[in-house]
Amino acid sequence: MTSDTPGGDRSGGLLSRLRRARSTPRGKTRRRLGAAVRLLAALILAGGAYTVFAPGLQAQDTPKLTTAAQEGKSLFDTSCVSCHGRNAQGVEGRGPSLIGVGAASVEFQVGTGRMPLARQEAQAEAKPPVFSDDQTTQLSQYVQELGGGPQVPPGENLHSGGSIDEGGRLFRINCSSCHSFGGGGGALSSGKYAPDIKSASDRQIYAAMLTGPQNMPVFGDNQLRPEQKADIIAYVQQTLAEDRDPGGLNLGRLGPATEGIAIFLVGMVALIFAALWIAGKS
């Protein structure tokens, strides 16, 4: 094999010279000097490459940001950067990278007050939002332009044309195992939970399905098509969120747990008082 013949003049260049140099013994001073020269050359090469490429990145990126995204970036750099890092690349152990999460994710997390986070815990809690709608849009725009990702379609009403019967079927298959049959939410392991969805807006539900915030799985457009999402939102908004309980007080729609409490606290207590009253009449 040709590679088995080292030091051939054929190869020439640096490699052969190095090998030749190593094969002949040298003085200590010369060896040290050579090492220093090589280190210097490597540093110059690395530094040079950085100066060539790094400004290029900035120069390419900066003009791409629209005005709204610029505003969003300044908001980001004051409120989000401590956990999500510069340019939303994420900080190990504090916050994930936001490259590619899309405007939908920002709209949900910031719009419902989950972000900025109050503290690191099992799951971010919905709070009164810190940013106004305009600011949320600017932040979304910034994250969107940074790395792309899913976006919620425009408009406030995203369930027009959705069919509630199909939505109900999809809800029971996909959503009720965590959010419960009545949409009131439920517990997950280790302090995580699926929140109440009855008060959520169309856009929030859509964004949640699209991005899978917190512990929710992602229901991308290949799992639930946009029209199926509209069906689900229609079911949530027109059947669950409107508290039209034909049977009366719904007891929080928590199932037999609250019904059991009710029969003791209301039924039994009332009847024991009645028994006290009747037995006292003698």
Q: Which residues would be at the binding site for another protein (CB under 8 A)?
A: 122, 164-169, 172-173, 176-182, 184-191, 193-194, 235, 238-240, 245-251, 253-264, 266-268, 270-272, 274-282
Q: Tell me whether residue 129 or residue 198 sits nearer to another protein (CB atom).
A: 198
For residue 91, list its beta bridge partners: 95
Q: What is the closest distance, in whole angstroms, from the C-beta atom of residue 110 to another protein in the complex?
A: 23
Q: Tell me whether residue 17 or residue 172 sits nearer to another protein (CB atom).
A: 172
Q: What is the closest distance, in whole angstroms, from the C-beta atom of residue 246 to another protein in the complex?
A: 6
At how many degrees (to 10) do helices 133-147 and 102-111 cross? 150
At how many degrees (to 10) do helices 133-147 and 67-79 cross? 100
Distance CA 144, CA 138 (A): 10
Q: What is the closest distance, in whole angstroms, from the C-beta atom of residue 120 to another protein in the complex?
A: 15
Nearest to 103 by CA among 207, 206, 2, 245: 207
Q: What is the closest distance, in whole angstroms, from the C-beta atom of residue 43 to another protein in the complex?
A: 53
Q: Tell me whether residue 148 or residue 260 sits nearer to another protein (CB atom).
A: 260
Q: Tell me whether residue 21 or residue 266 sits nearer to another protein (CB atom).
A: 266
For residue 194, list its beta bridge partners: 186
Q: Collapsing DSSP states into helix, strand and coil, what is residue 1?
A: coil
Instruction: Look up residue 219 and give its two tokens.
Output: 């229901």
